[in-house]
């Protein structure tokens, strides 16, 4: 594989970052049924409040104060270490607005996420802020993925891969326990699966 084919992109939230403990702390502190992870918390809150307001409030907390409970996702450090040893160029492309909604205090989402990366085990792989990209919509996120000429991309949301402009030639990974029925997307249950798949290409 040529170096020009070694551009690897990551989504950030719930892909490189695991917020499971953050979700557990939030559910406990708000007297909710215990939620083990972000997915179960979102499902619970949206079932009780179809407007989505309660989930937006929880999400705002998780991505700000809740970052103090967040950790690198299972296999993230090992995968980044392997990719760096193989001379891959690593990029982060995240759909993240600049601030939380006004009703959540308009807190700086992007700045806090970047600070978390700098303080985490992953900092040695993303030393330069120029490889961390935040976009305000999924459409703009996909445009950035295209502009970076990524050869690989991993995300936890299938909606990203369903965007009309998503480049299907990218070797794409959906990090999810649910099976993906998009034929050109590889379904993975953990980031540990990526190295094995790359080596089989």
CA distance 120 to 23: 19
Mean pLDDT by 10 residues, the chain (201 residues): 84 98 97 95 95 95 98 98 97 97 94 97 93 98 97 97 97 92 94 92 68
Same domain? For 93 and 144 the reply is: yes
Task: Return the pLDDT at 5.
Answer: 84
Rounded to the nearest 10 degrees, the angle between the axes of helix 38-48 and helix 53-62 is 150
Q: Which of 154, 131, 146 has its CA nearest to residue 11?
A: 154
- Same domain? 149 vs 173: yes
Q: Residue 38 is part of which domain span?
A: 20-62
Shared domain for 36 and 8, answered yes or no, is no
Question: Structure tokens of 166?
Answer: 């998503």
CA 119 – CA 104 distance, rounded (Å): 25
Same domain, 85 and 171: yes
Q: Are 83 and 151 spatial neighbours (Cβ–Cβ below 8 Å)?
A: no
- Shared domain check, 92 and 38: no
3-state secondary structure of 66: helix
> In the chain, how many domains are there?
2
* CATH code of 168's domain: 3.40.50.1000
Considering the domain architecture, whether residues 99 and 137 belong to the same structural domain is answered as yes
Residues 112 and 161 in one domain: yes
pLDDT, residue 181, reads 87
Query: Are 83 and 32 in the same domain?
Result: no
Q: Are strands 71-72 and 17-18 parallel, antiparallel or unpaired?
A: antiparallel
Dump pLDDT digits (tens) for 125-179.
998 999 999 999 999 999 999 999 999 999 999 999 999 999 999 999 999 988 8
Question: Which of 115, 91, 110, 85 shows the shortest CA–CA distance to 100?
Answer: 110
Please check whether residue 26 is in contact with residue 110, taking contact to mean a CB–CB distance below 8 angstroms. no
176 and 105 within one domain: yes
């Amino acid at each position: 594989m040529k170096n020009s084919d070694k551009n690897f992109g990551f989504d950030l939230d719930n892909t490189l970052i695991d917020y499971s403990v953050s979700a557990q702390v939030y559910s406990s502190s708000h007297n909710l049924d215990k939620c083990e992870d972000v997915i179960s918390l979102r499902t619970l809150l949206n079932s009780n409040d179809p407007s989505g307001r309660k989930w937006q409030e929880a999400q705002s907390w998780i991505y700000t104060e809740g970052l103090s409970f967040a950790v690198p996702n299972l296999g993230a450090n090992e995968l980044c270490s392997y990719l760096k040893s193989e001379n891959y160029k690593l990029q982060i492309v995240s759909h993240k607005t600049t601030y939380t909604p006004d009703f959540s205090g308009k807190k700086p989402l992007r700045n806090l996420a970047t600070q978390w990366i700098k303080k985490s085990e992953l900092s040695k792989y993303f030393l330069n802020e120029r490889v961390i990209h935040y976009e305000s919509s999924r459409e703009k996120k996909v445009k950035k993925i295209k502009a970076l000429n990524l050869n690989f991309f991993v995300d936890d949301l299938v909606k990203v891969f369903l965007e009309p402009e998503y480049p299907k030639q990218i070797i794409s990974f959906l990090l999810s326990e649910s099976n993906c029925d998009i034929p050109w997307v590889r379904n993975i249950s953990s980031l540990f699966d990526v190295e094995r798949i790359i080596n089989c290409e």
